[in-house]
Amino acid sequence: DGGITQSPKYLFRKEGQNVTLSCEQNLNHDAMYWYRQDPGQGLRLIYYSQIVNDFQKGDIAEGYSVSREKKESFPLTVTSAQKNPTAFYLCASSIALLAGASYNEQFFGPGTRLTVL
Amino acid sequence: QKEVEQDPGPLSVPEGAIVSLNCTYSNSAFQYFMWYRQYSRKGPELLMYTYSSGNKEDGRFTAQVDKSSKYISLFIRDSQPSDSATYLCAMCQTSYDKVIFGPGTSLSVIP
């Protein structure tokens, strides 16, 4: 089955620790995204990548880092610099960010719920 | 003012009711409008997509876009308990632009 997987489903972090959230897709999509979802707020874009070995900051990149060494993988590290990391993190992918494409449907993974203890 | 606003609910309706979900937005350059459905503790999934103004129907779901009023709607006919979820509107200027999501409306359909 094609899709996006995220692991772990639940993650607990102590103050001062870095943690890495995994995101893998087998849809052969070029573009991948990380969003943060908090109650009462829309999905906020953390980082996105249009191609391997390239990524751009989204609206709330401070305290986060990413890598895109393989097309199918886009891990997110939540560093100790992120002051309020408790949230639901969603990874998504799409075919590509292309001019002239009909629309940019994003396919989402099941999410990782991160809690800081 | 937020770019996209949506009544968070919760909205509770009896089974079989017609549901109206709405979003307003401030950026007149938005051209692509989407509705995502998100079940509890799951990732969102695309429900409907509309380009520019007009209506689009898919089974029990109808999406409407009124660009002059900067207002979009999703109607659900004959609502079912399985429709209980959070509905997120989303929009972007071009097909390759960043997508802006609304905060979502929580819907419960009571049997």
For B29, the token pair is 């350059």
Residue A50 vs residues A3, A113, B5: alpha-carbon distances, Å: 18, 25, 28
Residue B107 has pLDDT above 60, yes or no: yes
pLDDT value at position B53? Answer: 85
Write the DSSP string, A22-71. Answer: EEEE-S--SEEEEEEE-TTS--EEEEEEEETTEEEE-TT-TTEEE--SBT
**CB of B88 within 8 Å of any CB in chain A?**
yes
Contact of A105 with B50, CB cutoff 8 Å = no
Return d(Cα A115, Cα B4) in angstroms, integer: 27
pLDDT tens for residues A28-60?
999 999 999 998 788 999 999 989 999 999 999
The residue behind tokens 């893998």 is A24
Q: What angle do CA A60, A66, A69 make, to 5 degrees?
A: 150
pLDDT tens for residues A54-107?
999 999 999 999 999 999 999 999 998 888 999 999 999 988 766 555 667 889
Q: What angle do CA A12, A16, A18 make, to 5 degrees?
A: 65
pLDDT value at position B7? Answer: 87
Asked if B92 and A106 come within 8 Å (Cβ–Cβ), the reply is no
**CB of B23 within 8 Å of any CB in chain A?**
no
pLDDT value at position A103? Answer: 67
Return d(Cα B91, Cα B97) in angstroms, integer: 9
Q: Which of A42, A92, A98 sits opposite B96 (nearest CB)?
A: A98
> For testing the chain B interface, which of A56, A106, A112 should be mutated: the one with the most B CBs within 10 Å?
A106
